[in-house]
Amino acid sequence: MTAAPRVSIGLPVYNGERYLGEALDSLLAQTFEDFELIISDNASTDRTGEIGRSYATRDKRVRYVRNDRNIGFAKNFQRAVELASGQYFKLHAADDLVAPEFLARCVEVLDREQHVVLVYPRARLINEFGAVIADYEDGLHLQSPQPSVRFRQLFERLRLCNAIHGVIRGSALRRTRLLGTFIGADVPFQGELILYGTFWEVPEFLFFRRFHPGASSAMLDQYLQGQGIDRIQAFFDPTSKSKVFMRMWRHLWEYWRSVARVPLDITEKLRLGYFLIRVAIWNRDKLWRELSAATRQLVR
Residue 32: CB partners within 8 Å, gap ≥ 6? 6, 7, 103, 104, 107
Give the angle subtended at the CA of 183 by the CAs of 179 and 187, to the nearest 5°.
55
Q: Which domain holds residue 167?
A: 7-210
The interaxial angle of helices 284-299 and 266-282, nearest 10 deg, is 70
Residue-wise pLDDT tens digits, 10-64: 999 999 999 999 999 999 999 999 999 999 999 999 999 999 999 999 999 999 9
What is residue 41's three-state secondary structure? Answer: strand
Residue-wise pLDDT tens digits, 158-194: 999 999 999 999 999 999 999 999 889 999 999 999 9
Residue 297 inside a domain? The answer is: no
Q: Global pTM?
A: 0.92
Residue 234 inside a domain? The answer is: no
Compute the average pLDDT of residues 192-197. 98
**Would you say residue 229 has pLDDT above 70?**
no
pLDDT recorded at residue 212: 87
**Would you say residue 223 has pLDDT above 60?**
no
Residue-wise pLDDT tens digits, 91-131: 999 999 999 999 999 999 999 999 999 999 999 999 999 99
Compute the average pLDDT of residues 252-275. 97
Closest CA to 290 of 224, 232, 228: 224
Q: Torsion over CA of 211, 216, 221 and 226, rounded to 10 degrees?
A: 150
Partners of 126 in beta bridges: 132, 210
The interaxial angle of helices 186-193 and 147-157, nearest 10 deg, is 150
pLDDT recorded at residue 81: 98
Compute the average pLDDT of residues 241-246. 70
pLDDT recorded at residue 122: 98
DSSP for 96-133 reads -EE-TTHHHHHHHHHHH-TTEEEEEEEEEEE-TTS-EE
**Would you say residue 221 has pLDDT above 90?**
no
The interaxial angle of helices 229-236 and 72-83, nearest 10 deg, is 20
Burial 135-169 (b: 16+ CB within 10 A, else e): ebebebbbeeeebbbbbbbbbeebeebbbbbbbbb
CB 205 within 8 A of CB 211: no
Closest CA to 123 of 138, 141, 143: 138
pLDDT recorded at residue 116: 98
Residue 287 inside a domain? The answer is: no
**Would you say residue 146 has pLDDT above 80?**
yes
Residue-wise pLDDT tens digits, 74-90: 999 999 999 999 999 99
CATH code of 75's domain: 3.90.550.10
CB 19 within 8 A of CB 98: no
Number of domains in the chain: 1
pLDDT recorded at residue 76: 96
Looking at the chain, the whole-number percentage of residues with pLDDT higher than 90 is: 83
